[in-house]
Amino acid sequence: TVPAPRVLPKGLRGYGVQGEFRRSDAGTLGDLVAGAGLNWVKQQVPWKEVENLPGVYNWTPLDNLVQSMQARGLNILFSVVKAPDFYKDPKTDPAKIGTTHGPPADPTKLRSFMRDLATRYKGRVQAYEIWNEENLEVEWGRIEGSAYADFVALMKNGYTGAKEGDPDAIVILGAPTPTGVNNPAIAIDDLEYLKKLFAHNGGEIRDYFEALGVHPNGGPNAPDDALGNAAHSNATCNSGWSTHASFFFTRYKALYQAMLDAGITGKTIWFTEFGWATISGPGAPPAPAIGYEYARCNTEQDQAAFFVRAFEKVRSETDYVTHMIIWNLNFQQVVPNTDEKWAFGIVRSDLSPRPAYTALQGMAKPQPAGGVAG
């Protein structure tokens, strides 16, 4: 039998960072994480890159990553996304064939994959996030009709497979992303999406996750800014990205409340991605990536200060956020400076620290009293 979701202990205990660790220098990257005093790493795991043919897996990049991080005492979160093309349905979603995104036509295929993944890394990978930003058309397909029922089915199979492989693994409901729009052909507002997801079939999804993933990215807004009081955006960004509640860091509180309002209790929140972009500093592009123009509104010093304040703020204001995963460590090493991921990095392309890394390294990282670290 598959164990029911546990009620996980409250209190901020996970201080982490997402990176691209499937690299030959994974050990060096692990040293950077541990050297900053962080205790978690997150790696996105594109399913299609592991299962190259039905039932045929290439584990080598993940094996190396897990070995490197485990050797440094780091906990690991895998974010599982992107079904292989041979599991997609060309009749119902031709637009997703040949693209990098999209769910499988048969959600039980994810159960099999998660079972094999969690079996292989039992006791070594501590948590799995099922899917990512499924409220975006580019990640899911059109978000209407059966989209919510289909995601519940995917979550059920992902949870079941993960628990079959490792009953002790934590299973996280993949985070929606702030969008500020409500158009099924583009994206659904994160709060509206979760309300519909939680309402489906009487809240059935409660049985298939232990923590809710959230992406509270602030854009050009400081952690203490809010709708109607967008001081940083007003001062630096011509008040851009300040007209919708989802553009502010504290959005996570509304998402948690929506879960409670749906009668779903006993869950914690993980920030499975949060950060601030800046194109100031060495190697910066002349202009920000399209859609991420707010990166010109934050300096490297802003980025550093915002991270430290975000951790302080969450610790002082809530007990239900237990893990905060920074976006990102080392994408300046991975992508050109014209890619939006570059601006969010906390180390440079040569792995020297940006001010944010240094600030995070010096930041206090208390654990809950009597709690289990990690």
219, 226 contact by CB (below 8 A):
no
How is 243-295 classified by DSSP, letter by letter?
Answer: SSGGGSTTHHHHHHHHHHHTT--S-EEEEEEE------STT--SSPPTT-GGG
Q: Taking the mean position of all CA atoms in its chain, how far away is CA 267? A: 17
68 to 2, 47, 74, 330: CA distances (angstroms): 30, 21, 9, 16
How is 292-341 classified by DSSP, letter by letter?
Answer: -GGGGS--HHHHHHHHHHHHHHHHHH-SSEEEEEEE-SSGGGTS-TTSHH
Domains defined for the chain, CATH in brackets: 14-362 (3.20.20.80)
The pLDDT of residue 125 is above 70: yes
Per-residue pLDDT band for 328 (boundaries 50, 70, 90) equals: very high
The pLDDT, as a whole number, for residue 99 is 58
- Give tens-digit pLDDT for 273-315: 999 999 999 999 999 999 999 999 999 999 999 999 999 999 9
The pLDDT, as a whole number, for residue 101 is 78
285 or 98: which leads in pLDDT: 285
The pLDDT of residue 100 is above 70: no
The pLDDT, as a whole number, for residue 138 is 87
Encoded amino acid at 17, one letter: V
Per-residue pLDDT band for 373 (boundaries 50, 70, 90) equals: low
Please list, in sequence order, all residues whose beta carbon lies within 8 angstroms of the beta carbon of residue 300, skipping any fewer than 6 positions away.
Answer: 278, 280, 281, 354, 355, 356
Across the range 244-254, mean pLDDT stands at: 97
The pLDDT of residue 92 is above 90: no
Per-residue pLDDT band for 170 (boundaries 50, 70, 90) equals: very high
- Give tens-digit pLDDT for 109-124: 999 999 999 999 999 9
- Give tens-digit pLDDT for 45-88: 999 999 999 999 999 999 999 999 999 999 999 999 999 999 98
Identify the CA nearest to 68 among candidates 43, 45, 44: 43
- Letter string b/e over residues 105-138, b meaning 16 or more CB atoms within 10 A of that residue's CB: bebebbbbbbbbbbebbeeebbbbbbbbbbbbbe
